[in-house]
C-alpha cells in the first residue's frame, strides 16, 4: 500500500503528562518524524451539575482541557504537529458502559485495562496509519522486545519497578506490540523528569495522576448515579441482605455496586472485630462479610485471556501472578481449563481475589499473559 | 511544504491595504475617540468615516451602525437585548452557536425558543418560520448564509413575514457579508450582525446594524459610546481596518471577483465529486441551492473525516470538518445533522472554503492530493470505518 505522508513517522500518544511529553521530546530530538495525538475520550463537563457532581469539573487525566492544553504546548515547544482525535463515543461504548455494567453486576472493573485492551492501542494504531505513521509510542513504563527464537514480541517489566504498568497492558496483541514503542521502559521516573527538564518542558514537575480519568473526584458511586440519570435509566434494584459466612443476616444494603471484595469501610454494620466483604452475589444480591482471615483464597479462575510470551497455555506452568495493581506477584501453578479459561493455584493463599480485576501472569520479568478474574 | 488555506469561513488574512490603513492608529494617532482634544478628534473622525463606509455597505444611516467586538457579541446583543421573560423567540437549528447558546441561556430566564429545522437541502423554508409565530413572538433570528454549507437563506421573504406579524427580525450575516450584496431595506431586518475577520479585516471587531427606533437594550453599559448602545472605548485601529476591509469588499462584490471565485469553487467541487462515494451537502435533488461563491461541503463514504482533515493538514492543506469542540477534537456538525445526515456521514464531511485570493494552482494542488488521501483512508477502511459504528 502506498503511504501518503512521511514514511516511518511515529505517532506519540500525548496525555499532557510528563511521561508521554518526554517520549515526544526524546523521539523528536532523535530525528524521528513525530506527530502528537491525544484521544479525546470523555467530556468532563458532561455530567456537571447532576446529582452530587460539581458544576465546574475538577481537572483529571486524559480527558481534561488542562491536559490537552499542556500536550499542545509541549508539541508547540517541540515543533511537531499535534491533533486531538474525538473518541468519546467509542470510549463510552468500550469503557464507560462496561465499567458501569461490571459494578452493577457486583464486580470491580479496571477501566484502564478496558481502555488499553479495547480502545486505546487499537484506535491509536488506526489513526496513526490513516495519517501515514507506521508506529505509535506511549509513555507507559514497560519494555517491549522482539525475541527471534520464539518469534514473538515480549512484554517485560520496566527498569522502574515502582512505575511498572505491565499489569494494565496484558491485553496487547502481537500485531499491536509489533508497532508500539515504550521508550521509557529502561528509565526511572526521576530520570524521565530529568530528561523533561533537559528538553525545557515546562511540565517536568507536574505531579503524577492516579485517578480514573473520567471520574476526577474518584467517587465512582456518584458517577454511576449521575451517568445513569443522564441516560434516562434507573439504577437497577440490587438491594439485598448483608450476611455473615455462616448465613446470619446482619442488615440490608442499598445495592451491590456499593461493595468491593476486601472492602472494610462503609458496610453500615458495627461488629466487635473488623468485617470485610468476602463475596458479592449478583443474583441474590446477597453480600457476604467476614473476618480478614476468611478473605484468603488459594485459587482463582480467569477468562478472556491474552497470551504474550507464549502462543497459548497447553500444559501447566509455574508463574507469578499479580491480582491487582499494587499486588506483589505471588507464585502459583497455572492450568488450562476448557472454554479458554485458566485455573491458578497459589502456593500461599492470597487476600481478596476480586472478580472484575485482572490476573497477570509473569515469568521472571516477562509477561506470559493475563485475563479477567471470574 | 506548500500550504493551501481553504478554511476562509473560519477566518481570513488581512489584505495589505487593511494593514496599511490601520498602521497610524497604533502609535501616532492613538487618541481616545471620546476625548475633547485634537488627538481624540482624529480618532473620532476615523471611527465616523469607517461608520459611513459600513452604512454604505448596509444601505442604512450611519447612526444605525454600532461597532462592537465581532459576530458573537453582535448575536448576543441582538438576542439578549430584545428578549424579556415571557417572550417567544424563533430561530433555526443551523445557526452559529453564538445564537443557539444564547437562546439556551435565555430559556433559564423564561424565554421559550422554537428552533426551526432546515430542509434536507440546508434551506430554511419561510413557511416554517411563519407557522412558528405566536402572539408572544418578539424576535426572529435567521442567518444570511450558513457557515458550514454556504447555503444562502431566503431572508427577504422571512423579513416580510416578520413585518406582517409585527415581529422584530435579526440576521446573522457573519458568513454572508462580503459574499452577498446586502441591503437593510430589502432584507427587512431590524438588526444584522457582521464580523470583520471573515472578510479580510482584523479579528476582534464587528458591527451591528440597529434600525432606528428598535428598542434594543445594550449588553455592555458604562459609557455613552456608540449612541449609548455599546459602552467601552472604541477599538480605533480595528474599526479603521474594518472600514477599509468593507470598502474593499464592496468593490469585490462588483468587480467580478465573486464570479471568478464561484468558477474556481465549482472546478474544485466538480473535481472532488469525481471521487466515487462522495456528494454535496447543501443540494436539492442534484441541483444546487443558492450558495455563497466560496464554499463547498462534501461528504465522503467509507472513511473517517477527522483523519482526513489531519492527513490533509500534514500535506499542507487547511480545511475543516465538523465543528471544533473545547479540546480541539471534532464533533459532527450540528448543521449537517439538522439537515438529516446520519452521524457517520456528518462526521465524514469536509468544508472547503476558498479565500477571495485563491488561485487555480491552489485548486490544482488540492485536486492532486485529495483523491489519493481519500483512497489511502479507504484502503484502511474496514478497520477505520468500524470505529464509527
Closest chain A residue to B312 measured between Cα atoms?
Answer: A131
Whether the predicted pLDDT of B387 surpasses 90? no
Q: Is residue B293 part of a domain?
A: yes
Task: Classify residue B150: in a domain, yes or no.
Answer: yes
* pLDDT number for residue A5: 46
Task: Report the catalytic residues of B.
Answer: 325
**Could you tell me if B242 and B322 lie in one domain?**
no
What pLDDT is stored for residue A61 in this prediction?
Answer: 43
Is the CB of B380 less than 8 angstroms away from the CB of A130? Answer: yes
pTM (2 decimals)? Answer: 0.86
**CB of A4 within 8 Å of any CB in chain B?**
yes
Q: Which residues of B touch A92 (CB under 8 A)?
A: none
- Residue B313 shares a structural domain with residue B216: no
Q: Assess whether B240 and B322 both reside in one domain.
A: no
- Shared domain check, B160 and B93: yes
Q: Which of B218, B252, B286 is the last residue before a domain boundary? A: B252
Say yes or no: A38 contacts chain B, CB-CB below 8 A.
yes
Residue B243's CATH number? 3.40.640.10
Interface check for B311 against chain A (CB to CB < 8 A): the answer is yes
Pseudo-torsion of CA A114, B326, A4, B371, nearest 10°? 120
Distance CA B329, CA B387 (A): 16
pLDDT value of residue B360: 97
A-chain CB neighbours of B383 within 8 Å are 126
Identify the domain containing residue B292 by its residue range.
4-12+256-384
Running DSSP on this structure, what letter comes out for residue A201? -
Distance from the B293 Cα atom to the nearest Cα atom in chain A, whole angstroms: 30
Q: Do A72 and B315 count as a contact with CB atoms less than 8 A apart? A: no
Q: Do B314 and A129 touch (CB under 8 A)?
A: no
Query: For the purposes of burial, counting CB atoms within 10 Å of the CB of B27, is it exposed (0-12), middle (13-18) or buried (19 or more)?
Result: exposed
Pair B222, B309 in one domain: no
Q: Which residue in chain B has the smallest CA separation from A41?
A: B329
Facing B328 at nearest CB: one of A84, A87, A90: A84
Per-residue pLDDT, A8: 78
Candidates A360, A287, A368, A365; CA nearest to A113 is A360
B1 reaches A (C-beta below 8 A)? no
| Nearest CB neighbour to A65, from listed B307, B327, B380 | B327
Q: What is the pLDDT of residue A54?
A: 65
**B388: pLDDT confidence band, cut at 50, 70 and 90?**
very low
CB contact under 8 A, A84 and B380: no
Which residues make Cβ contacts (< 8 Å) with residue A89, sequence separation at least 6?
A: none
pLDDT at A213: 85
Q: Name which of A4, A68, A90 is nearest B328 (Cβ-Cβ).
A: A68
The DSSP secondary structure of A241-288, one letter per residue, reads: EEEETTS-EEEEES-GGG--TT--TT-----SS--EEEEE-TTT--EE
Q: Does B348 touch chain A (CB under 8 A)?
A: no
Chain A, nearest residue to B326 by Cα: A65
- Taking residue A291's Cβ as centre, other Cβ atoms within 10 Å add up to 14
B290 lies in the same domain as B243: no
B216/B268 same-domain check: no
Whether B357 shows a pLDDT value over 90: the answer reads yes
Domain co-membership, B203 together with B269? no
Could you say which residues of chain A have pLDDT below 50?
1-6, 59-62
Strands A358-363 and A366-373 turn out to be: antiparallel
Q: What is the pLDDT of residue B62?
A: 97
Nearest chain A CA: its distance from B104 CA (Å): 16
C-alpha cell of residue A315 = 500444559
Domain boundary among B207, B226, B252: B252
Q: For residue A3, what pLDDT is reported?
A: 39
Residues B198 and B96 in one domain: yes
- Contact criterion met (CB < 8 Å) for B380 and A129: yes
Q: Do the domain assignments include residue B29?
A: yes
Nearest by CB to residue A81, choosing from B314, B331, B383, is B314
Q: Which of A3, A68, A123 sits opposite B387 (nearest CB)?
A: A123
Is residue B291 pLDDT above 60, yes or no?
Answer: yes
Cα separation of B112 and B107, whole Å? 6
**What is the arithmetic mean of pLDDT over B124-129?**
98
pLDDT 10s digits, B192-227: 999 999 999 999 999 999 999 999 999 999 988 998
pLDDT at B269: 96
Residue A317 CB contacts under 8 Å (≥ 6 apart), including other chains: A333, A334, A361, A363, A368
Q: Count of CB atoms within 10 A of residue A143's CB?
A: 19
Asked if B103 and B91 touch (Cβ cutoff 8 Å), the reply is yes
Identify the residue among A59, A76, A79, A86 best suited for mutation to test binding to B, counting B beta carbons within 10 A and taking the highest.
Answer: A86
The residues of A carrying an active-site annotation are 115, 213
- Whether residue B219 is found in the same domain as residue B295: no
Which run of H or of E encompasses B186? helix B184-187
- How many residue contacts between A and B have a Cβ separation below 8 Å? 70
Domains of chain A: 9-139+183-220 (3.40.50.620), 238-290 (2.30.30.280), 296-373 (2.40.30.10)
* Residues 324-343 (B) with a CB less than 8 A from some CB of A: 325-331
- The enclosing domain of B355 has a CATH number of 3.90.1150.10
For residues B197 and B273, state if they share a domain: no
d(CA B244, CA B228): 25
CA–CA min distance A116, chain B (Å):
15
Number of domains in chain B: 2
Residue B151 lies in a domain: yes
- Confirm or reject contact between A56 and chain B (CB < 8 A): no
Chain A partners within 8 Å of B304 (Cβ)? 130
Q: Span B31-47, mean pLDDT?
A: 95
Residue at a domain's end among B200, B235, B252: B252
8 Å CB contact of B311 and A131: yes
- pLDDT averaged over every residue in chain B: 94
On whether any CB of chain B is under 8 Å from the CB of A33, the answer is no
Residue among B311, B313, B330 whose CB faces A130 most closely: B311
Per residue in B136-180, pLDDT tens? 999 999 999 999 999 999 999 999 999 999 999 999 999 999 999
Q: Which whole number is the average pLDDT over B361-388?
A: 80
Are B35 and B168 part of one and the same domain? Answer: yes
A86 touches chain B (CB under 8 A): yes
The answer as to whether B389 is a domain residue is no
Q: What's the rounded Cα separation, in Å, for the pair B261 and B267?
A: 10
Interface of B with A in 288-307 (CB under 8 A): 304, 306-307
What pLDDT was estimated at residue A323? 96
Tell me the pLDDT band of B386, cut-offs 50, 70 and 90.
very low
pLDDT of residue B133: 98
Shortest CA gap A245–chain B (Å) = 46
Residues of A whose CB is below 8 A from B313:
81, 83
Predicted local distance difference test score (pLDDT) of residue A247: 87
Amino acid at each position: 500500500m502506498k503511504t501518503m505522508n512521511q514514511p516511518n513517522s511515529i505517532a506519540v500518544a500525548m496525555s499532557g503528562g510528563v511521561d508521554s511529553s518526554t517520549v515526544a521530546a526524546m523521539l523528536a530530538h532523535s530525528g524521528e518524524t513525530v506527530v502528537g495525538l491525544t484521544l479525546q475520550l470523555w467530556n468532563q463537563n458532561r455530567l456537571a451539575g447532576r446529582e452530587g457532581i460539581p458544576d465546574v469539573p475538577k481537572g483529571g487525566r486524559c480527558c481534561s482541557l488542562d491536559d490537552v492544553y499542556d500536550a499542545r504546548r509541549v508539541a508547540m515547544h517541540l515543533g511537531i504537529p499535534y491533533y486531538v482525535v474525538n473518541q468519546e463515543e467509542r470510549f463510552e461504548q468500550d469503557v464507560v458502559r462496561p465499567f458501569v455494567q461490571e459494578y452493577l453486576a457486583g464486580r470491580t472493573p479496571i477501566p484502564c485495562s478496558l481502555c488499553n485492551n479495547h480502545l486505546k492501542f487499537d484506535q491509536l494504531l488506526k489513526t496513526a496509519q490513516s495519517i501515514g505513521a507506521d508506529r505509535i509510542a506511549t509513555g507507559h513504563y514497560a519494555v517491549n522486545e522482539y525475541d527471534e527464537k520464539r518469534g514473538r514480541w515480549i512484554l517485560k517489566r520496566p527498569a522502574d519497578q515502582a512505575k511498572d504498568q505491565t499489569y494494565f497492558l496484558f491485553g496487547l496483541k502481537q500485531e499491536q506490540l509489533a508497532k508500539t514503542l515504550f521508550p521509557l521502559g529502561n528509565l526511572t521516573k526521576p530520570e524521565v523528569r530529568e530528561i523533561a527538564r533537559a528538553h525545557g518542558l515546562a511540565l517536568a514537575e507536574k505531579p503524577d495522576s492516579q485517578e480514573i480519568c473520567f471520574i476526577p473526584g474518584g467517587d465512582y458511586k456518584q458517577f454511576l448515579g449521575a451517568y445513569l440519570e443522564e441516560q434516562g435509566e434507573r439504577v437497577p434494584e440490587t438491594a439485598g441482605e448483608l450476611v455473615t459466612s455462616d448465613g446470619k443476616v446482619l442488615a440490608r444494603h442499598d445495592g451491590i455496586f456499593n461493595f468491593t471484595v476486601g472492602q472494610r469501610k462503609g458496610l453500615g454494620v458495627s461488629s466487635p472485630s473488623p468485617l470485610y466483604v468476602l463475596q458479592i452475589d449478583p443474583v441474590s444480591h446477597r453480600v457476604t462479610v467476614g473476618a480478614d482471615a476468611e478473605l484468603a483464597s488459594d485459587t482463582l479462575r480467569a477468562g478472556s485471556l491474552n497470551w504474550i510470551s507464549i502462543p497459548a497455555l497447553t500444559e501447566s506452568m509455574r508463574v507469578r501472578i499479580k491480582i491487582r495493581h499494587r499486588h506483589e506477584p505471588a507464585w502459583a501453578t497455572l492450568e488450562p481449563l476448557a472454554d479458554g479459561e485458566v485455573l491458578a493455584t497459589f502456593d500461599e493463599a492470597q487476600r481478596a481475589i476480586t472478580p472484575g480485576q485482572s490476573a497477570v501472569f509473569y515469568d521472571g520479568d516477562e509477561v506470559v499473559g493475563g485475563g479477567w478474574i471470574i | 511544504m506548500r500550504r493551501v488555506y481553504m478554511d476562509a469561513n473560519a477566518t481570513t488574512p488581512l489584505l495589505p491595504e487593511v494593514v496599511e490603513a490601520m498602521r497610524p492608529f497604533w502609535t501616532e494617532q492613538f487618541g481616545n475617540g471620546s476625548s475633547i482634544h485634537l488627538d481624540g478628534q482624529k480618532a473620532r473622525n476615523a471611527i465616523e468615516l469607517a461608520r459611513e463606509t459600513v452604512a454604505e455597505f448596509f444601505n442604512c444611516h450611519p447612526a444605525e451602525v454600532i461597532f462592537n467586538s465581532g459576530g458573537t457579541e453582535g448575536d448576543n446583543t441582538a438576542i439578549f437585548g430584545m428578549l424579556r421573560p415571557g417572550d417567544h423567540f424563533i430561530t433555526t437549528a443551523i445557526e452559529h452557536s453564538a445564537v443557539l447558546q444564547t437562546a439556551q441561556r435565555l430559556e433559564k430566564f423564561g424565554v421559550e425558543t422554537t428552533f426551526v429545522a432546515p430542509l434536507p437541502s440546508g434551506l430554511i423554508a419561510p413557511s416554517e418560520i411563519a407557522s412558528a409565530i405566536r402572539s408572544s413572538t418578539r424576535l426572529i433570528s435567521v442567518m444570511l448564509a450558513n457557515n458550514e454549507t454556504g447555503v444562502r437563506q431566503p431572508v427577504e421573504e422571512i423579513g416580510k413575514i416578520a413585518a406582517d406579524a409585527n415581529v422584530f427580525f435579526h440576521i446573522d450575516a457573519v458568513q454572508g457579508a462580503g459574499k452577498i450584496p446586502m441591503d437593510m431595506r430589502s432584507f427587512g431586518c431590524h438588526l444584522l450582525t457582521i464580523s470583520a475577520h471573515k472578510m479580510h479585516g482584523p479579528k476582534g471587531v464587528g458591527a451591528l446594524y440597529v434600525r432606528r427606533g428598535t428598542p434594543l437594550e445594550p449588553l455592555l453599559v458604562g459609557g455613552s459610546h456608540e449612541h449609548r448602545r455599546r459602552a467601552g472605548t472604541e477599538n480605533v485601529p480595528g474599526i479603521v481596518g474594518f472600514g477599509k476591509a468593507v470598502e474593499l469588499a464592496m468593490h469585490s462584490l462588483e468587480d467580478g471577483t465573486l464570479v471568478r471565485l464561484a468558477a474556481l469553487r465549482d472546478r474544485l467541487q466538480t473535481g472532488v465529486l469525481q471521487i466515487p462515494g462522495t456528494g454535496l451537502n447543501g443540494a436539492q435533488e442534484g441541483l444546487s441551492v443558492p450558495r455563497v461563491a466560496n464554499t463547498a461541503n462534501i461528504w465522503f463514504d467509507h472513511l473517517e473525516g477527522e483523519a482526513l482533515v489531519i492527513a490533509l493538514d500534514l500535506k499542507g492543506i487547511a480545511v475543516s470538518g465538523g465543528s471544533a469542540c473545547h479540546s480541539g477534537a471534532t464533533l459532527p456538525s450540528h448543521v449537517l445533522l439538522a439537515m438529516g445526515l446520519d452521524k457517520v456521514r456528518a462526521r465524514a464531511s469536509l468544508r472547503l472554503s476558498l479565500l477571495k485570493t485563491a488561485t487555480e494552482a491552489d485548486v490544482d494542488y488540492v485536486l492532486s492530493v485529495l483523491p489519493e488521501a481519500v483512497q489511502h483512508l479507504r484502503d484502511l477502511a474496514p478497520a477505520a470505518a468500524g470505529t464509527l459504528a
